[in-house]
Each structure stands twice: as C-alpha cells, then as structure tokens.
Amino acid sequence: MSVGIRHDDLRRRNRAMVISAVRRAGQPSRTEIAATTGLSHSTISAISSDLIREGILAESKASEPVSLKRGRPQVGLALNPEAAAVLTVVLSLNFLSAAIIDYTGQVIAEEQRRLDTLTMPRDELIRECMAIVRRRLQDPDLDVRSVARIALAIQGITDSPARAMLWSPITPQTDIAFADMLEDEFGTPATVENDCNMMAVALRWRNLDRYRDDFIAILLSHGIGMGLVLKGELFTGTHSSGGEFGHMIHRPGGALCRCGRRGCIEAYAGNYAIWRNARQMSEDSEPVADVSDADMRALAARAREKDGPEREAYRKAGEALGFGLGSLFALIDPAPVAMVGASAAAFDLIEPALRKAIAQTAGGQHSGSISFDTEPNELPLIREGCAMRALSFVDQEIFAPGAQMRPSVRKNVA
C-alpha cells in the first residue's frame, strides 16, 4: 500500500512540474521541459500525452522557424486557457476589485468598486465582498462551474492558514473569516492572503532570475508593507502572515501611526505621513484617511523643484525605510528589493536618504551592492500573485492524477 501511495505522490509531483514549466515558459518544447525539470523524455512524453488528452495542455506551433532547424521541428506545449479559471479579489483602502483569470493567467472579466472601508460596518463590508464575487460568477458570458479557486488579498494581517483577516488598517473590523464565508456561500475553495506576500509571489513568477531565493517586496503606498522570500519560500509567521515591516519601530514614542501606536516606519514613510510632514503638521496629528495619487504626484513635483518641507518629508521617509531595511539586512544579508506602489514613482526623492541610513547599520556593510526596482502600480502585482497562488493549487490538486476534470471556461451559447 505504501509503495502505491509513494507512486501516486510521484506522479502528482511530476505532472505539477510539467504544468509549472509550461506555465513559466509559455510554449516550451518537450526537450526544453526536460532541461528545466530534470525529468526524462519518456516521462515527459507520457505526462504530456495524458495532459493533452485531458484538455489541460495543447500542442502549439513550432517554437522556432523550420528554416532555422534541421529535421523535424520542435512542437511546443501550451496551457489550454479553457481548462480552468480562478477568481481573485483585492481589498485595499477604499477599493475593491475582482477578476476572473483563465488557466493561462489572463484576465477575462473584471470589476472595480470604490468603498469607504474606514467607516463601513462589518456586515456591509462582508456583503460588498460577497456581492462582487457573486456578480463575477453570475456573468452570463462565463461558465460559473469553471472557477476552481478563489483568492482574496487584503492589506493587513492574515492568519497563517490563509483563512481570515486578523487586522487591517483599512477598516476597524477585525477577525473576519473570509475564506470560510466564501466557501460556504459559493462552494469553491478559498484562501485569504496578505497583499504584499502576493506581490512577492508575482515578482518571482515574472523574473525568476532576479527574484529567486532571497528578495523583498516593499509596498510604498498609504501604508507600508513587505513581502519576504527566503531560500525560495514565502515567509509567514507561526500565527499570522508576518512581514509587518511598516510597523517596526523607527523612533520610540515618535509620530502617530494609523495602527494607533507611535514611531512606526509607516508613520514616516506612508503617503499620509509624507503628506503630514510636507504640510508641517504635528506628529501628533491624526493620519489623513486617504491621499490621492494625484496629490502625491503634485507633492513629489514640488519636492523636485526646490528644497523645502516637501523634499524634507521624502528625506524622512527614506531615512525610516533605510534604517528598517538595514536592520533587516543585519539578519538576512542584503537582497534585491522591489519598491511597489504610488510612492515608488518618487523613489528618486527617497533613495539618497534610504541608502545613507542603510550604510549606518550593521546590515549596510555591503550597501553598495543593494539594488532596487520600482513598480508604481501595485494592483496588477497583487492580482497576479493571487492568480499564480490559486493556479498552482489547481495544478497540484484539481489536475492531480485521478482528479475529476472541471468544465472548461467557455462562452454560453443561446
């Protein structure tokens, strides 16, 4: 019995490896899959034949022009976009988004809504999240049964099993078991993910050469968050999603943070904190509920024009981020960093003070080798991370050997 179980586990793993190789490469040949996975050609041929017969993969055109190769051209393998779909939901400050993603990772239906998350009662917040999912699943042009997984990303702390939102700065509500609610309502497996963790997942899928074993994704928006990958694995805490970089203490007893505490990194580097300092308001001032991207762009433009309180506000932000990163690097060594979010567009104003602060820490011994990328729009990354997380589950569980094939994503025909 144990030998059979091990054999099934091996088949499951090998199938998942082949699907993952195709997903990452696009349209690789069987030879290229063998080079990527280390599986034998005979194993790949057998698995690919099964996956094609089951409608999970499809053969594509030759990966190179026939004129460039001798003999029989290589035939590529591609994912069948209609094999399955997942639904992603992103809940952030005053914003809710939902999208249906096909099996290749492409968005096929989307909806976005503005909400007042800071004042919404608990029942209304839950109702809005359920309603946007329901509307996407009831899309008349989509086969509802094809959605195999729901992934909800939220700005805030989630539990380690990815079932609930524990706390979030975007709402006074706490301990909402969104995954259980989604599963009870729609009968589809669901997870609740930290938004910054999903940014890190997406970066690893986009650029494995740079974001492979150890790297950091920092959210520079109204809030400050972090997704951390160590030794190729996404870091989470023993009880929660972990990675609350924005709420590490920069200055004990310092500026008031959205979380209610004082001196957090976010209280100097979040959009509301930069705005507060640029306006020369007291550090005891209540954080502004929301600052528009347009206002932040105008603030950055003034900071670039001349020295003044606007430029000083960005310097303070860079200093807080730099000391925080330097402390982190003292533990894990320097690693590539991606700055994501609206304030990443002003990284030129932040970087000098950030690097100076890092250099003053134990983690700054190799500060000259630290490199930064910037991405000013976090939503596509968060959504992509959710999609890849959910699709990986589909690859390993729904399409495991012997699992029942789900109906395809397709247009309904009257």
In percent, how much of the chain has pLDDT > 70?
90
Structure tokens at 155: 């700005």
The closest alpha carbon to 329, from 354, 365, 372, belongs to 365
Average pLDDT, the chain: 90
pLDDT digits (tens, 9 = 90+) for 167-216: 999 999 999 999 999 999 999 999 999 999 999 999 999 999 999 999 99
Q: What is the DSSP letter of 396?
A: I
Question: For 406, what's the count of Cα atoms within 13 Å in the CB-facing half-sphere?
Answer: 26
Tokens 């594509």 belong to: 60
pLDDT class for 142, splitting at 50, 70, 90?
A: confident
pLDDT class for 61, splitting at 50, 70, 90?
A: low
What is the pLDDT averaged over residues 353-364? 92
The pLDDT of residue 6 is 73
Instruction: Give the global pTM.
Output: 0.90
pLDDT digits (tens, 9 = 90+) for 252-289: 999 999 999 999 999 999 999 999 999 999 999 999 98
The pLDDT of residue 401 is 67
Which letter, b or e, does each residue of 48-68 get, where b requires 16 or more Cβ atoms within 10 Å of its Cβ?
Answer: bebbeeebbbbebeebeeeee
Instruction: Judge whether residue 164 has pLDDT over 70.
Output: yes
The pLDDT of residue 231 is 94
